[in-house]
Structure formats: structure tokens, C-alpha cells
């Protein structure tokens, strides 16, 4: 039987999400990879337990996380039932819809049909009555934004989502989404963009927009899908995502990127951190970033990421050195979405 650590909240400084009353842990657990039906259930379960014991209250999912699609939510639902039934009110559970999920014209996008049906499916898979945050997972330019946002509004009014957010929207579409929500009396709680030392697009207007609107920001892929770790410094190890295929494009392992990573790794070593820890700490250096989403294949990887919280501060010289290597690395798989929106 799982018994939560009684001291889990003692050592973590939660960060306010924009101007809302909600506070999130500086590192949240993302279940994009490693928690699906093709993964070992007990390994994922141990990671979720460890995260909660370390004060991580936010668990981020989407309808199509797996593989196969939907299986991450199913597995998370099983863990909730087995271990966390008495802790549900201590948790922030988020899900999303917008990317492909099922065949046919209604299985993806930002239509009212897709979003509302997706939410119902997610609630059923996880065995919960509501999610804390539901996102429009991507801008869908052939669907009126008013229709997408109206679906988010309905979720809140039905009590099936406490808050709503958007992901990968550019600054102007973010501003328009917030305007429509505000007219309905519902705030835009949070934006979830990709952000890392090799993918800094949100610094060009989006962070300023979110600050102005009072919305929070949670950065996904702060490790650039594992590129900002030590694993690729000397080639592709067996078992790494680049070796397994899937979402990691081996083109990311260019000579220029490896040179960037090696330079950053040297700076991290001088700071007494792993590269992954420095990469996460770096995304959190700006107070407008509420939280960083970290995935984990096992408890050891999770502990390494959480170790970033032991040293979040950077001096001016460290930031100057990092800027010499933290340049565009072509790792933003979602660039077409955010630029178009």
C-alpha cells in the first residue's frame, strides 16, 4: 500500500500561475512519453509516486499520449485508483485535445465536436469527474477561434474543467483567445509552449503577452526531448529515444547541436549540476515561467530533474556564457503551429 510522504510539501516553493490564485510546482511531471501501454506500468507508477512524495502536484497529460493513444491516461487512471484516491484534491491534473486522436474528420483539430468529445473520453479513461486544466492542444487555423474557445467555456461551466489553457499559440492568437474568454467571464489561466536553451521562440513576444494578460506559462520539452542531457555527448546510446525512432528526429543530432550541448555541459559541470538540471533551472530563471514540464523514464531520471531545484540562481557571467551556446537548434517541432498563429 502506498503511503504518501508526510513531508512532501516542506521543501518546495510553489509558483503563482500568472495573476490567478493557483500555484504550481516549479517542476511538473509530463506523461507524454514513458507512461503508455507499451511501457512498464510499475515503472511509471513508481515515478508518479516519487514525484508526489517530492511535492510535485501537477501531472500533465493529453488525450493522445501513449503509445498507443489514450493509454497514458488509462494508466494514470489506474495509478489514481490504486494509490491516490484519497489525494485527488491535492493534485492538478491536466489534459488536452487538438492533435490526431481517432480516424475521420472529427478526430483532430479545434472543433467543438472534437474538444468536447475528447474531454469526455479523457475523463472516462482516467476515472475522474473533472480535470483541473484542459488545453486547446494546438491552434487550428481552419476552425474559427470563437468555436474552439466556446468549447473551453462550456467545459468550465459544466464543471468538467476548473481552468482552461492553450498550447503552441503565437502571441496574437493568444491575445485573441484571452479576449474571447474574458468576455465570457473566464480567464486564460495558462499557456503551454515548447521552450528550451535550443528553442527560445517565446522570448520574442509571447512571454511579454502572457505577462500583460496575467496568464501563466508552463514550458514543455525543456530538455529538447533529451538533447539537453549528457546522453548524446558521445553518440546515440541503446534505448535512447533517438535509437527507438518516433518523435525524436535524429537530424537534431547535428554537429552544430552536439557542439552546443557540449559547451552547455561544461558550464553545467562548473556549476555543479548535470546538464539536465541546468537546462530546467535555466527555463525557470524568468519568473513569468510558472513551471517546467519534465518527463522521466524512471525514478533516477526524475530525481535528476528535481535536483535542478537545488540551484536555480544564475549569475551574470553564467548567463552570458550560456547565451553563447543557447541558440536556435532546430528542435521546435511545433514551429509551424506557433508561427502561423
Dump pLDDT digits (tens) for 249-295: 677 888 999 999 999 999 999 999 999 999 999 999 999 999 999 99
Q: What is the torsion angle, in degrees rounded to the nearest 10, for the CA atoms of residue 316, residue 318, residue 320 and residue 323?
A: -140
In this prediction, residue 333 carries a pLDDT of 76
* Own/partner pairs, 74-79, CB within 8 angstroms, 24+ separation: 74/37, 74/125, 74/126, 75/35, 75/36, 75/37, 75/39, 75/41, 75/44, 75/45, 76/31, 76/35, 76/48, 76/126, 77/125, 77/126, 77/127, 77/128, 78/41, 79/44, 79/45, 79/48, 79/49
In this prediction, residue 133 carries a pLDDT of 99
In this prediction, residue 83 carries a pLDDT of 98
Low-confidence residues of the chain: pLDDT under 50: none
In this prediction, residue 267 carries a pLDDT of 98
Question: And the C-alpha cell for 257?
Answer: 547541436
In this prediction, residue 251 carries a pLDDT of 79
In this prediction, residue 130 carries a pLDDT of 98
Answer yes or no: pTM beyond 0.85.
Answer: yes
In this prediction, residue 152 carries a pLDDT of 98
**Element containing residue 262 per DSSP (H, E):** helix 255-271
Bridge partners of 235, per DSSP, are: none
Amino acid at each position: 500500500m502506498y503511503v504518501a510522504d508526510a513531508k512532501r510539501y516542506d521543501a518546495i516553493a510553489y509558483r503563482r500561475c500568472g495573476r490567478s490564485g493557483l500555484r504550481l510546482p516549479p517542476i511538473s511531471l509530463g506523461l507524454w512519453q514513458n507512461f503508455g501501454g507499451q511501457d512498464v506500468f510499475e515503472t511509471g507508477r513508481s515515478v508518479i509516486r516519487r514525484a508526489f512524495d517530492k511535492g510535485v502536484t501537477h501531472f500533465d497529460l493529453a488525450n493522445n499520449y501513449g503509445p498507443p493513444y489514450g493509454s497514458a491516461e488509462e494508466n494514470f487512471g489506474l495509478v489514481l485508483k490504486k494509490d491516490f484516491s484519497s489525494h485527488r484534491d491535492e493534485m492538478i491534473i491536466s489534459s488536452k485535445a487538438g492533435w490526431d486522436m481517432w480516424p475521420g474528420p472529427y478526430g483532430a483539430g479545434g472543433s467543438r465536436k472534437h474538444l468536447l468529445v475528447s474531454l469526455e473520453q479523457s475523463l472516462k479513461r482516467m476515472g475522474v469527474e473533472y480535470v483541473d486544466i484542459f488545453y486547446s492542444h494546438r491552434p487550428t487555423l481552419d476552425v474559427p477561434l470563437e468555436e474552439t474557445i466556446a468549447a473551453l467555456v462550456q467545459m468550465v461551466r459544466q464543471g468538467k474543467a476548473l481552468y482552461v489553457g492553450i498550447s503552441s499559440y503565437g502571441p496574437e492568437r493568444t491575445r485573441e483567445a484571452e479576449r474571447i474568454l474574458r468576455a465570457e467571464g473566464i480567464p486564460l489561466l495558462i499557456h503551454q509552449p515548447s521552450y528550451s536553451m535550443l528553442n527560445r521562440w517565446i522570448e520574442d513576444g509571447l512571454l511579454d503577452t502572457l505577462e500583460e494578460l496575467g496568464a501563466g506559462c508552463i514550458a514543455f520539452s525543456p530538455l529538447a526531448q533529451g538533447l539537453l542531457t549528457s546522453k548524446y555527448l558521445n553518440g546515440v546510446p541503446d534505448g535512447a529515444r533517438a535509437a527507438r525512432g518516433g518523435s525524436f528526429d535524429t537530424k537534431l543530432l547535428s554537429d552544430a547541436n552536439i557542439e552546443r550541448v557540449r559547451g552547455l555541459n561544461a558550464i553545467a559541470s562548473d556549476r555543479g549540476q548535470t546538464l539536465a538540471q541546468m537546462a530546467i533551472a535555466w527555463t525557470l530563471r524568468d519568473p513569468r515561467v510558472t513551471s517546467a514540464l519534465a518527463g522521466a523514464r524512471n525514478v533516477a531520471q526524475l530525481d535528476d530533474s528535481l535536483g535542478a531545484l537545488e540551484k536555480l540562481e544564475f549569475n551574470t557571467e553564467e548567463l552570458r556564457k550560456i547565451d553563447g551556446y543557447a541558440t536556435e537548434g532546430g528542435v521546435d517541432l511545433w514551429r509551424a503551429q506557433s508561427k502561423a498563429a
